[in-house]
Chain A
Amino acid sequence: MRDVRVLIVDDEPDIRATVSAMLEIEGYEVAEAANGADALHVLEERRPDVILLDMRMPVLDGWGFAAELRRRGHGTPIVVMTAARDAAHWAAEIAAAAFVAKPFGFDDLIAAVEQVSPSA
């Protein structure tokens, strides 16, 4: 076990489930949230090491979540995960550590998460 906790924030349940399964099989510990507001709750309970963040979500979107995260003083690295063409741009906007553009494959996802994971 790597003992790295990843929080997956995406409003699409199938995306959450798939990404969870991909990370779990690689030995990550995962938590899920359906939007930014949800994620803020989960955040305090689970203290993730990495956050995989969709940008366009109802209730609280990626930008709002990232701002609130920083305001609360968390330096957790964020990996932006979006289907939009502006993935890189959006990642820069919220000072994310990395991004993966949907549709990403298994290796793309793992590489991005590994890259930003705190070294064990």
Chain B
Amino acid sequence: MTALELISLANQVLFVGLFAAVLVRALGRPSRAAWDTVLLFGSIAAVVVLARVSGWVGLSDQPWLTGVTLLLLSVAPYAMIRLVDDFSRTPRWVLPAGAIAFALVGALGFVAFATVPQLYEIVTIAWFLGVGGYAAYAFGRAAAESGGITRRRMAAVAIGAVLFIGAIVTVFADALATGVSFEAVPQLAAFFAVIAFFVGFAPPSWIRRAWREPDLRRFLERSLHLSALADERRAVVEIQRAAAAALGATGASIGLAISGRPVLRYVGQDGEWIEYPDDAFIAGRAFREQRRVVAMDATEADPENAAVYRLNAATTVIAAPITSEERRIGALSVYADRAPIFVEDDLWLLELLADHTAVLLESRKLAAVESSLRAREESARLKEEFLSAAAHDLRTPLTVVLGQAELLERRAARDPTAPVDAAGLSRLAREARRLRELVTELLDAQRLEQGVAVMDPVTTDLRGVVESVGERYHTQGIDLKTVVPDAPVLASVDVPRFEQVVDNLLENALKYAAGSVLPEVTLVEDEGEGRLTVIDHGAGVPEDERERIFDRFYRATNVQAVTDTGIGLGLYICRRVVEAHGGRIWVEPTPGGGSTFIVVVPAQRAPEPDAPAGATVTLPAISGEAAADA
């Protein structure tokens, strides 16, 4: 046996083996594409078997047998264009035209081969080169356009088709051009063709595994950062993209179950959640039945939602449940505008991706639980600190009240005629008032926390607020610098609350910037906003704490040592009150040292000049008169 004969034998065995493999597959998972594959390799296998058998029984020379062989051989290009149509929708005329051409070529084999073999050979070469070549080109283009395993298998099929057509064409060309022998070429071409077809249509599992790995890795790499994404919707969209890319599909969609309700929610085109019944769509079927579902034609399998599938160019939909142990998380479905020939591989990968999606989503959930636990711990710690700080703050004035009261009591007992200790009494009263203020502040914070703070906004000239606060400090011997504009700055505010904000800011400025230049209060109207600033020249707020100081119970680290008093509520109350007015509050460093607290509230337009007299609130009285209420 020569080497050539050995190759020829190997070719015959491989083609018959390939036919058997695709037949088994088509019987297991019937689809048009599967049967078209059977048609392609069945015809080739039939040619091979026919040649062998006829050789044994000595029928090789029968002209009808030659006709049948030629007919079977010319099936291959037709089967190829059918396959092309299976995955990429050829123009409508291609298949009928191919069938007619096939019939003509086949008939010609019977009629003309014996009489005008040259004519037949030329027609056959044209048939293979033209139609087979078109199919090979279409396979190649499909490979370039798809991704993942499909791409690799398509490429193998395209290479196989080119080699196979090359082999056939060389055989016929050989017969035409007498004197030149290409005998080895077609055999070798056919050998590599069948290998490529095997790899493309019936790859052994080790090849599949090797092929799947880069896609899986890419999927995981794309999804790695997902646990850091705060928004679950964005995470879902990312996983969808990664899954579609790994499978080389048009798109993917994830439906997530909501415990206790029979719905799956999806991320819609606008990025918002949309809920559908948990049995809607092919994905719903996979979720409900907890198994993978293949719909080669989604509009047919789920006519109710045909419009949705058409809108998404989803011809074929495959779906798998996303399940973590016993927990049903949702369903992953992948759709394509063509029916994939290699659906079984896609399913395998899809299930793997669904498992990984389950892990990704679960780990996100765990991370969320962890951070909410941490937040709860933090809030418990703050509450604890608050209680301890509040208790501490109450104890200092209480020490004075108690000590002073007992002192007075003792003094009176020892000498009832002794003059009244005026200084002691005023200390007692002062610290009792301080206690009252602290208690009020605590209750305020509590009320604000529950969102029931009474807000009674009236249109007010903010200049009045600033000036009345300045006046109050003046009576205590503190001459603040206040700067207000000439024109009124009208805003709708709850006056006592707004005064409390200014008071708190000034108290802080005096407390933490003691001994330095007195704080300054300015008011301006700027772009429809009333802007009030309290400027101090104290220690300032460390840069990384400028937001946190407005948190409840938070005290800047550089003031904790300065004084024991303060429970971290003042600025928190300020922020809540300002926000309730639709405004903002923040702190900036004062040039040259210190802090500048800025409060911005929406300003109201000044009333028309011909507004009734007295409609505007005048300085410095704070009244409930609402000028621009209408």
Q: Are B406 and A105 in contact (CB under 8 A)?
A: yes
Query: Quick one: which of A1-58 are within 8 Å of B by CB?
Result: 11-12, 14-15, 17-19, 21-22, 25, 56, 58
Q: Which listed residue, B395, B407, B410, B563, touches A58 by the CB 8 Å rule?
A: B563
Q: Are A11 and B563 in contact (CB under 8 A)?
A: yes
Q: Are A56 and B561 in contact (CB under 8 A)?
A: yes
Q: Are B410 and A83 in contact (CB under 8 A)?
A: no
Q: Which listed residue, A11, A83, A106, touches B392 by the CB 8 Å rule?
A: A83
Residues of A within 8 A of B395 (CB): 83, 101-103
Q: Would you give the shortest CB distance from B434 to chain A, in whole angstroms? A: 9
How distant is the Cα of A21 from the Cα of B403 in the complex, in angstroms?
Answer: 9
Residue A84 CB within 8 A of the other chain: yes
Q: Which listed residue, A14, A19, A101, touches B431 by the CB 8 Å rule?
A: A14
Q: Would you give the shortest CB distance from A27 to chain B, in whole angstroms? A: 12
Q: Interface size of A by Cβ–Cβ distance < 8 Å? A: 23
Residues of A within 8 A of B404 (CB): 18, 21
A15-B396, A83-B396 as given contacts; A105 in contact with B564, CB under 8 Å: no
Residues of A within 8 A of B406 (CB): 22, 105-106
Q: Are A21 and B407 in contact (CB under 8 A)?
A: yes
Residues of B within 8 A of A103 (CB): 395-396, 398-399, 401-403
Q: Would you give the shortest CB distance from A83 to chain B, in whole angstroms? A: 4
Q: Are B403 and A19 in contact (CB under 8 A)?
A: yes
Q: Are A12 and B403 in contact (CB under 8 A)?
A: no
Q: Would you give the shortest CB distance from B568 to chain A, in whole angstroms? A: 15
Residues of B within 8 A of A58 (CB): 561-563
How distant is the Cα of A52 from the Cα of B401 in the complex, in angstroms?
Answer: 19
Q: Are B424 and A21 in contact (CB under 8 A)?
A: yes
Residues of A within 8 A of B427 (CB): 14, 17-18
Residue A89 CB within 8 A of the other chain: no
Q: Would you give the shortest CB distance from B133 to chain A, in whole angstroms? A: 90
Residues of B within 8 A of A18 (CB): 399-400, 403-404, 407, 424, 427
Q: Would you give the shortest CB distance from B277 to chain A, in whole angstroms? A: 57
Query: Which of A14, A17, A104 has the largest count of B CB atoms less than 10 A from its CB?
Result: A14
Residues of B within 8 A of A19 (CB): 403
Residue B411 CB within 8 A of the other chain: yes
Interface size class of B (residues with CB under 8 A): 20 to 34
Residue B430 CB within 8 A of the other chain: yes
Residues of A within 8 A of B401 (CB): 103
Q: Which listed residue, A56, A84, A101, A104, touches B403 by the CB 8 Å rule?
A: A104
Residue B311 CB within 8 A of the other chain: no
Residues of A within 8 A of B400 (CB): 12, 14-15, 18
Chain A residue with Cβ nearest B404: A18
Q: Would you give the shortest CB distance from A32 to chain B, in whole angstroms? A: 14
A97-113, CB under 8 A of B: which get 1 and which 0? 00001111110010000
Q: Would you give the shortest CB distance from A35 to chain B, in whole angstroms? A: 10
B372-385, CB under 8 A of A: which get 1 and which 0? 00000000000000
Q: Which listed residue, B402, B414, B431, touches A105 by the CB 8 Å rule?
A: B402
Residue B388 CB within 8 A of the other chain: yes
B403-438, CB under 8 A of A: which get 1 and which 0? 110110011001000000101100100110000000
Chain B interface, DSSP helix/strand/loop, else mixed? helix
Residues of B within 8 A of A12 (CB): 396, 400
Q: Are B407 and A106 in contact (CB under 8 A)?
A: yes
Q: Are B407 and A102 in contact (CB under 8 A)?
A: no
A18-B427, A25-B411 as given contacts; A83 in contact with B399, CB under 8 Å: yes
Residue A71 CB within 8 A of the other chain: no
How distant is the Cα of A83 from the Cα of B414 in the complex, in angstroms?
Answer: 30
Residues of A within 8 A of B564 (CB): 11, 56, 83-84
Residue A85 CB within 8 A of the other chain: yes
How distant is the Cα of A72 from the Cα of B528 in the complex, in angstroms?
Answer: 63
How distant is the Cα of A17 from the Cα of B421 in the complex, in angstroms?
Answer: 12
How distant is the Cα of A61 from the Cα of B560 in the complex, in angstroms?
Answer: 12
Chain B residue with Cβ nearest A12: B396
Chain A residue with Cβ nearest B414: A25
How distant is the Cα of A17 from the Cα of B403 in the complex, in angstroms?
Answer: 10
Q: Would you give the shortest CB distance from B335 to chain A, in whole angstroms? A: 64
Q: Are A25 and B398 in contact (CB under 8 A)?
A: no
Residues of A within 8 A of B563 (CB): 11, 56, 58
How distant is the Cα of A83 from the Cα of B404 in the complex, in angstroms?
Answer: 17
Chain A residue with Cβ nearest B564: A56
Query: Which of B392, B398, B400 has the largest count of A CB atoms less than 10 A from its CB?
Result: B400
How distant is the Cα of A50 from the Cα of B531 in the complex, in angstroms?
Answer: 53
Residues of A within 8 A of B431 (CB): 14
Q: Are A102 and B398 in contact (CB under 8 A)?
A: yes
Residues of B within 8 A of A105 (CB): 402-403, 406
A14-B427, A18-B427 as given contacts; A104 in contact with B399, CB under 8 Å: yes
Residues of B within 8 A of A56 (CB): 561, 563-564
Query: Quick one: which of A63-116 are within 8 Å of B by CB?
Result: 83-85, 101-106, 109
Q: Would you give the shortest CB distance from B601 to chain A, in whole angstroms? A: 34
How distant is the Cα of A103 from the Cα of B402 in the complex, in angstroms?
Answer: 7
A21-B424, A83-B392, A106-B410 as given contacts; A15 in contact with B561, CB under 8 Å: no
How distant is the Cα of A85 from the Cα of B389 in the complex, in angstroms?
Answer: 10
How distant is the Cα of A85 from the Cα of B403 in the complex, in angstroms?
Answer: 19
Q: Would you give the shortest CB distance from B514 to chain A, in whole angstroms? A: 8
Query: Quick one: which of B560-595 are within 8 Å of A by CB?
Result: 561-564
Residues of B within 8 A of A83 (CB): 391-393, 395-396, 399, 564
How distant is the Cα of A17 from the Cα of B428 in the complex, in angstroms?
Answer: 11
Q: Would you give the shortest CB distance from B337 to chain A, in whole angstroms? A: 70
Q: Are B403 and A25 in contact (CB under 8 A)?
A: no
Q: Which listed residue, B399, B410, B423, touches A15 by the CB 8 Å rule?
A: B399
Residues of B within 8 A of A15 (CB): 396, 399-400
How distant is the Cα of A22 from the Cα of B391 in the complex, in angstroms?
Answer: 24
Q: Are A25 and B399 in contact (CB under 8 A)?
A: no
Residues of B within 8 A of A61 (CB): 561
Q: Would you give the shortest CB distance from B567 to chain A, in whole angstroms? A: 12
Those 8 A-B pairs whose CB atoms lie nearest each other, nearest first: A83-B395, A106-B406, A103-B398, A103-B399, A102-B399, A18-B403, A56-B564, A102-B395
Task: State the A residues within 8 Å of B (CB).
Answer: 11-12, 14-15, 17-19, 21-22, 25, 56, 58, 61, 83-85, 101-106, 109
Known: A11-B564, A14-B430, A103-B398. 18 other contacts (CB 8 A): A11-B563, A15-B400, A17-B427, A58-B561, A58-B562, A83-B393, A83-B395, A83-B396, A83-B564, A85-B388, A101-B395, A102-B396, A103-B401, A103-B403, A104-B403, A105-B402, A106-B403, A106-B407
Please name 19 pairs of A and B residues whose Cβ atoms are closer than 8 Å in the assembled complex, sorted by A. Answer: A14-B430, A14-B431, A15-B399, A17-B424, A18-B399, A18-B407, A18-B427, A19-B403, A21-B407, A22-B403, A56-B561, A84-B392, A101-B395, A102-B395, A103-B396, A103-B398, A105-B402, A105-B403, A106-B406
